Amino acid sequence: MATLKEKLYEKIEQWRPRTQRLVKEYGDVKVCDVTIAQVIGGMRGVKCLVTDISYLDPYEGIRFRGYTIPEVMEKLPKPPGCEMPYVEGHVYLLLTGDIPTENEVAEVAEEFKKRSQVPQYVFDMLRAMPRDTHPMTMFSAAILSMQRESVFAKKYREGISKMDYWDPYFEDMLNLLAKLPTIAAYIYRMKYRSDTIIPPDPNLDFGGNFAHMMGIDKPYDDVARMYFILHSDHESGNVSAHTGHLVASALSDLYYAISAMLDGLAGPLHGLANQEVLRWIQGIYEKMGGKIPTEEEMKKFVWDTLNAGQVIPGFGHAVLRKTDPRYTAQREFALKHLPDDPLFKYVDLLYKVVPPILQEQGKAKNPWPNVDAHSGVIQWYYGVREYDFYTVLFGVGRAIGVCSNIVWDRALGYPIERPKSVTTDMLEEIAGIKKS
């Protein structure tokens, strides 16, 4: 059996001529036009990034390596007796584009086990931070602190061919991902469980071990697997993926890139929205004294939030124009495992009342729920009620996709990223409202 690295190299060698040919023979072919609204408006819809790891269709949602979420969940191997696939298998899929066999999954799991020991200085550093530091700040700092371990940084200093950059990036990817569940669970137990740390169990898979270190029983292992897979990738233009790609384009190693990726994910318009959703729902819950609001009462809460100039967290999307399939996957899990949970009933009610209100308000281009509208409720149900922590879970998952992208960026020799800026004067000249 070819190892993951051998398989990856085989794929890279097959892929390289395609990219080289496009640049060499078709480099002048136009991809799209860019308007002033796009230049000022956060580059919405400008086609200027390449990734083959995932593709986001506005109406269908995400496909990982061509597979929809239900297909990924069905096709990837699962641990015995579990509903959700091995995260290790998803790593294999994102990197190679192939659905792995049980043996291939076991090989990735073995690699993670060998590389999972977190250096003691990481824990020492986390302990030195004020305990009320946001867990995303801790998570990002923990990853940055391990930059000295980078295989790529060392190889680069020694001198390495550009054609081989992907190899030490791949080593850094496995080394880093293997440690993320331990670091995330450590932050959680240190901050929120009276500093009672649970050591890893080397016999468990990525998701199972995370649930074990969090100290939460089944089926939280499946919740962890589902979360990490669902959050892994959403093509290249979102803030976290784009930040990771951009930072690594300067040949900053994966530790720098993933730490920066997390800093982007920590914003309330991006990954922090899952924490905001729970905070917002909790506010209503308290006002209602724990009672489920009627549809009319809920509509009033939604309008009050909008009229106060705030966004409804968990709704809307820059690309999607329908209900996020990552939301649907979590909804199906909740309908099976927690149908009577009061907070789930809130989420269910919001699904009913928010889209027509956002449509009536007429501002949001997409009135439907995104992934973050659902993630917090499932965590809450299984006892993870410290919603500050939710974006860390998102971050563990997102690191899988962003690392895979960066390894391929280096394999295909994508250069340092450098778009061009213009001045307002220049835009006015282009618009014809000012003479040069």
Catalytic residues, by residue number, are 270, 317, 372
Q: Are 173 and 403 in contact (CB under 8 A)?
A: yes
Identify the residue whose tokens are 């959703």. 277
Return the axis-axis angle of helices 120-128 and 135-145, rounded to nearest 10°: 140
Q: Does 304 bind ligand AMX (CB under 6 A)?
A: no
Which residues touch 273 (CB under 8 Å, ≥6 apart)?
A: 313, 314, 370, 372
Give the CB-nearest residue to ligand AMX: 316
Partner residues linked to 68 by β-bridges: 63
- Residue 273 near ligand AMX by CB under 6 A: yes
Minimum Å gap between C-beta 48 and ligand AMX is 17
- Residue from 7, 191, 225, 270 in contact with ligand AMX (CB under 6 A): 270
* Longest CA pairwise span in the chain (Å): 71
- Choose the binding region for ligand AMX from 3-11, 175-183, 361-369, 408-416 (rule: CB under 6 A): 361-369
Q: Dihedral of the CA atoms 26, 32, 36, 38 (nearest 10)? A: -110
Which of 8, 306 has the CB closer to ligand AMX? Answer: 306
In angstroms, the CA 70 to CA 219 distance is: 19
Query: What is the dihedral angle through the alpha carbons of 161, 163, 165, 171, rounded to the nearest 10 degrees?
Result: -120
Residue 365 binding ligand AMX, by CB under 6 A = yes
Rounded to a whole number of angstroms, the minimum distance from the CB of residue 96 to ligand AMX is 26
Q: Closer CB to ligand AMX, residue 15 or residue 303?
A: 303
- Residues contacting ligand AMX: total by CB under 6 A: 21
| Least distance (Å) between residue 391 CB and ligand AMX | 9
Residue among 79, 89, 219, 271 that touches ligand AMX (CB under 6 A): 271
DSSP classification of residue 319: S
Q: Contact between 75 and ligand AMX (CB under 6 A)?
A: no
Contacts to ligand AMX from residues 305-324, by CB under 6 A: 306, 311-318
Q: Choose, by CB under 6 A, the member of 364, 384, 400, 406 that binds ligand AMX.
A: 364
Residue 236 Cβ, how far from ligand AMX at the closest point, in Å?
Answer: 13
**Contact region with ligand AMX (CB under 6 A), list: 24-32, 87-95, 270-278, 427-435:** 270-278
Contact indicator for 200, 212 with CB cutoff of 8 Å: yes
**Which range, of 60-68, 136-144, 211-219, 358-366, touches ligand AMX by CB under 6 A?**
358-366
104 or 276: CB nearest ligand AMX: 276
The reply on whether position 269 binds ligand AMX by CB under 6 A is: yes
Residues 327/355, Cβ–Cβ less than 8 Å: no
Q: Residues 18, 47, 218, 363: which binds ligand AMX (CB under 6 A)? A: 363
Rg (CA), the chain: 22
With beta carbons less than 8 A apart as the criterion, state whether 77 and 105 touch: yes
From residue 282, give the alpha-carbon distance in Å to each of 122, 147, 288, 369, 377.
34, 38, 10, 18, 10
Comparison of 64 and 169: residue with beta carbon closer to ligand AMX: 64
- 396 belongs to the binding site for ligand AMX (CB under 6 A): no
Angle at 96 between CA 90 and CA 98, to 5 degrees: 70
Residue closer to ligand AMX by CB (options 109, 306) is 306
Q: Among 104, 372, 388, 409, which residue interacts with ligand AMX (rule: CB under 6 A)? A: 372
Could you tell me what percentage of the chain is helix, strand and coil, using 3-state DSSP and rounding each to the nearest 5?
A: 60, 5, 35
User: For binding to ligand AMX (CB under 6 A), which residues are involved?
Assistant: 238, 269-271, 273, 306, 311-318, 363-366, 370-372
